[in-house]
A and B are shown apart, each in its own frame.
Chain A
Amino acid sequence: MPELSDIWNVLILRDYNTRLVVICTILLGCACGLMGGFLLLRKRSLMGDTLSHATLPGVGLSFMLLVALGGDGKSLPILLAGAGITGVIGCAAVLFIREQTRIKDDTAMGIVLSVFFGAGVAILGVIQKMPEGSAAGLESFIYGKTASMVMSDFQILVFITVCVLTCSLLLFKEFRLLCFDENFAASLGWPVKFLDILLLALITAVTVAGLQAVGLILIIAFLITPAAAARFWTNQLDRMLMLSALIGAASGWIGASLSAFFPRLPAGTVIVLVAALFFVVSMLIGTERGVMIRFLRQSQLEKRMGRQHLLRALYEILEGGRVTEELIIRTVPFRQILGRRTWSDRKLRDYIRRAYNEGLVEAPNKADSILLTETGLVEAKQATRNHRLWEMYLIEYADVATSRVDRDADMVEHILGDKMVMRLENKLQAYCLAGSLVPQSPHPIHPGD
């Protein structure tokens, strides 16, 4: 275990090398998170995968070019420029294949990825057998060499990320519309194609910058995972992008620090694993689209629906039995309720128990029949009324056949807000029986057995 003072030194970035690495990964995480957000919303997350693989032949070719010109082939800016060029060509090839042939998006990406990477491997194969230069340095583009980054790497990375961040902030409005409604943007006369390519170019720049830091494979994670994690917390684009950049930066910081504490923890892999942890936690407890919150919402909706179904079933049974408005006797046998809908015995008992706890029903002589209380009757009237208003609306305005209207109304009535009820009420007053709170059913009600 590392000493406490060591941890402190890493956290406050005292050590020069650690400081360099940590700042690099934080910046990179920030830029990747931001760009990944756009990619995710455009449903193009795997474009980062294709892009990063497509950079390999560029690295190899520019290395060969440098050697042919008499250098030792280790000029980083030129290698990165080569990577960027083939990366952009790869993106363009994906767009071309997708638009000009019947081949789908995913297959186009797969083709470009494998063919470009194959070309890269072949070129590296040639380089390895060249007498002049060793290709040893080029390996770092595939696996990254986070821990041994130097000042010049740092400068290039800072330059690229700052450019990307500025660009995407300036064009935020344009990119937002591109993500949500490309056709609308085009109809407004925006240069959609140009924006699309610009966005991909920015993403290429980030990817190329990250090749050095985390390597070709793990940069893919940096582009996808923080954005996907942020998506669970909010439905608003600006917040999501900010959060995504934040998660990216945090994973970079934590990952790089961890790898500084312990021996043999390559920074790239730790960063990816930290980001994955962020993703899993967000997926579980995210407040907007997380698994738990959605499960909770689902079960609440189900409970509300069960309650309304029970009340309406009771009311309709009573209504069928008595013509009087007051409905003096409000006891209904359990079996008759069970026959009203296709609900299981267990579910129905569950709904009844809940209604009992709310004081809507009572069970005077245990199990066999239940009694609607005074408050229960009011609520039941309301539920039945909502259902019938919906049915009428559907028949009148949506041209739904009378025989199907019950089922259709069933699906939508539970999301009916109070305001909507008021409006429907005014529109449909004519259909209500004078003096009655509950309109008549527009279709015959089949009694349950």
Chain B
Amino acid sequence: MEWYSIDTWILVTGSLAAGACALLGNFLVLRKMSMMGDAISHAVLPGLAIAFLVTGARASLSMFIGAAIAGVLTAVFTQWISRFGKVDEGASMGIVFTTLFALGLLLIVQGADHVDLDPSCVLYGAIELTPLDVVWRPTLFGLSIEVPRTALVLAGVTLFNAVFVVAFFKELRISSFDAELATTMGIDSKLMHYLLMTLVAVTTVACFECVGSIIVIAMLIVPAATAHLLTDRLWLMVVLSVLIAIGSAILGHLSALIVPAWFGFADTSTSGMMAVMAGLIFSTVMLFAPKYGVLQRFVKRTQAVK
């Protein structure tokens, strides 16, 4: 295995994306809205397509705005359909995101002559290519560093999410566990809901432009769920989830380079392997967690029988 500076940047961008997602993911998991990340990451396609058709260029800001609007609309439509139509929330989410995704595909195919947008790129992302787009060359300790654009964007998003979670920690905690209590305490839990959804949409869009939607979906849920099995304290859960996310990002990239070689193949997709590594960490914790692990519960149950 050979290591280039590109690999370092892949690690940095991957970790930043994973951390940004994991921060918000905790609250999605606690609010039983885990599938929202999946829904939003599919539903932004029409936003991307429309922004592209309108501006005629792959300018990242307009595409970003288009996708973020589509993401927020997904959350809003899901709420509307489940409230006004009395449809199960999961079903309404499924209807909204598949419809938007179909619409996006249709727009792309219809405008195929002048849309150079590959849907599979949205799905998988191209984290391997991100370090090539260098925008900033600072010199630190005599070393010139080439910072890619995505690393800057993701650092911004991660910082913003971290500030949001810290600043609204109390509000998020109370409204996630008990929305009615939050209302009686003067916290607008609906506002918190839409704020969170907006941030999820923005993060999703920012991340998968850089690293692909599969990382987003996985990192929103899997690290938070893993941390949920390890602790009962919310702040600890948030910290753990971020650490787990970064860990799976690093392991993911390493294994993408190493594992296929064991079977005599070339390297593989980093995004996919990051999700797989997160899954492996989750399974390990699920089995061996000290309090909520499957083994521990099994031992407890057999002891209780005796």
Q: Are B98 and A125 within 8 A (Cβ)?
A: no
- A residues less than 8 Å from B34 (CB atoms): 104, 106-107, 109-111
A-side contacts of B88, CB under 8 Å? 40, 43, 45, 228
Q: Which residue of B lies closest to A36 (CB)?
A: B91
Interface: B47 (CB within 8 A) = no
B81 interface hit (Cβ, 8 Å): yes
Chain A, Cβ-Cβ closest to B88: A43
CB contacts (< 8 Å) of A109 on chain B: these are 34-35
Nearest B residue to A221, CB-CB: B98
CA distance A295 to B217 in the complex (A): 37
Nearest-CB residue, chain A, relative to B112: A264
Q: Is the CB of B229 within 8 A of A113?
A: no
Tell me, rounded to whole Å, the shortest Cβ–Cβ distance linking A52 to chain B. 11
Taking a contact as CB atoms under 8 Å apart, the answer to whether B95 and A221 are in contact is yes
Are the C-beta atoms of A115 and B98 separated by less than 8 Å?
no
Cβ contact within 8 Å between B35 and A49: yes
B110 at the interface (CB under 8 A from A): yes
Mark each residue of chain A from 42 to 67: 1 if its CB lies under 8 Å from any CB of chain B, else 0. 01111011000000000000000000
B84 at the interface (CB under 8 A from A): yes
Residues of A within 8 A of B (CB-CB), count:
62
Assess whether A114 is in contact with B103, with CB atoms less than 8 Å apart.
no
What chain A residues lie within 8 Å of B217 (beta carbons)?
Answer: 110, 113-114, 117
Distance of A56 Cα from B110 Cα, bound (Å): 27
Does chain B have a CB within 8 A of A81?
A: no
**A-chain residues with CB within 8 Å of residue B142 when the two chains form the complex:** none
- Kindly report which residue of chain B lies nearest to residue A107, judged by CB atoms: B34
| Secondary structure type dominating chain B contacts | helix
Q: Is the CB of A224 within 8 A of B95?
A: yes
- Contact of B102 with A122 in the complex, beta carbons under 8 Å: no
* B271→A121 contact, CB < 8 A: yes
Taking CB atoms and an 8 Å cut-off, the chain A residues in 203-243 that contact chain B are: 217-218, 220-221, 223-225, 227-228, 231-232
Q: Are A269 and B256 in contact (CB under 8 A)?
A: no
CA distance A109 to B275 in the complex (A): 14
Interface 1/0 per residue, B73-101 and A, CB below 8 Å: 00000000100111110111111001101
Q: Which B residues touch A40, using CB under 8 A?
A: 88, 91
Q: For A231, what are the chain B residues with a Cβ–Cβ distance below 8 Å?
A: 87
B228 touches A103 (CB 8 A): yes
- Whether, in the assembled complex, A412 has its beta carbon less than 8 Å from a beta carbon of chain B, the answer is no
Contacts of A139 in B (CB 8 A): 120
Q: In the complex, how many residue pairs between chain A and chain B have their CB atoms under 8 Å apart?
A: 213
Q: Which residue of B lies closest to A117 (CB)?
A: B214
Tell me the interface secondary structure of chain A in the complex. Answer: helix
A253 contacts chain B at the CB level, 8 A cutoff: no
B124: chain A residues within 8 A (beta carbon): 121
Is the beta-carbon distance between A273 and B84 smaller than 8 angstroms?
no
Tell me which residues across on chain B come within 8 A of A107, comparing CB atoms.
Answer: 29, 32, 34, 221, 224-225, 228
B98 touches A225 (CB 8 A): yes
* CB of B21 to closest CB in A, whole Å: 11
Q: How far is the CA of A158 from the CA of B274 in the complex (A)?
A: 38
- CB neighbours of A121 from chain B (8 A): 123-124, 214, 269, 271-272, 275
Partner of A114, one of B42, B90, B109, B221: B221
Contact with A along B34-62 (1 / 0, CB 8 A): 11011000100000000000000000000
Contact A102:B229 (CB < 8 A) given known A114-B217, A122-B268, A269-B109: yes
Q: Does A119 touch B at the CB level, under 8 Å?
A: yes
| Interface bracket on B | 35 or more
Is B265 positioned at the interface, with any CB of A under 8 Å from its CB?
A: yes
Interface residues of A in 57-111 (CB under 8 A from B): 97, 100-107, 109-111
Whole-angstrom CA separation of A223 from B192 in the bound complex? 32
- Cβ-defined contact, A228 with B106, below 8 A: no
Q: Are A110 and B99 in contact (CB under 8 A)?
A: no
Cβ of B234 under 8 Å from chain A:
no
Q: B162 near A: Cβ within 8 Å?
A: no
B residues less than 8 Å from A199 (CB atoms): none
The answer, among B37, B95, B265, for a CB contact under 8 Å with A228, is: B95
The residue of chain B having its C-beta at the shortest distance from the C-beta of A214 within the complex is B102
A119 with B275: CB separation less than 8 A: yes
- Asked if B271 and A118 sit within 8 Å, CB to CB, the answer is yes
Q: In the docked arrangement, what's the CA distance between A266 and B102, Å?
A: 9
Most buried by B among A43, A102, A115, A232: A115
Query: Given the complex of chains A and B, what is the CA–CA distance between A101 and B91 in angstroms?
Result: 24
Contact B278 A126 (CB under 8 A): no
Closest chain B residue to A53, Cβ basis: B38
- Scan B255-298; emit 1 where CB is below 8 A from any A CB, else 0: 01000100001111101111110110010001000001110010
Say yes or no: B90 contacts A44, CB within 8 Å: yes
Q: How far apart are A30's CB and chain B's nearest CB, in angstroms?
A: 18
Name the distance in Å between B245's Cβ and chain A's nearest Cβ.
12
16 contacts between A and B (CB under 8 A): A46-B90, A101-B292, A102-B292, A103-B228, A107-B221, A109-B34, A111-B282, A114-B278, A122-B272, A125-B272, A129-B268, A224-B91, A268-B105, A272-B98, A276-B102, A294-B86
What are the 8 tightest A-B residue pairs by CB atom distance, in nearest-first order?
A: A118-B275, A115-B279, A122-B272, A121-B272, A221-B98, A125-B269, A114-B218, A125-B268
Residues of A in contact with B (beta carbons under 8 Å apart): 40, 43-46, 48-49, 97, 100-107, 109-111, 113-115, 117-126, 129-130, 139, 142-143, 217-218, 220-221, 223-225, 227-228, 231-232, 264-266, 268-270, 272-273, 276, 279, 283, 289, 291, 294
Q: A220-B98, A265-B106 are in contact. List 5 more A-B contacts (CB 8 A).
A: A48-B94, A107-B224, A123-B268, A221-B102, A291-B85
Could you list which residues of chain B lie within 8 angstroms of chain A, going by C-beta atoms?
29, 32-35, 37-38, 42, 81, 84-88, 90-95, 98-99, 101-103, 105-106, 109-110, 112, 119-120, 123-124, 214, 217-218, 220-222, 224-225, 228-229, 256, 260, 265-269, 271-276, 278-279, 282, 286, 292-294, 297
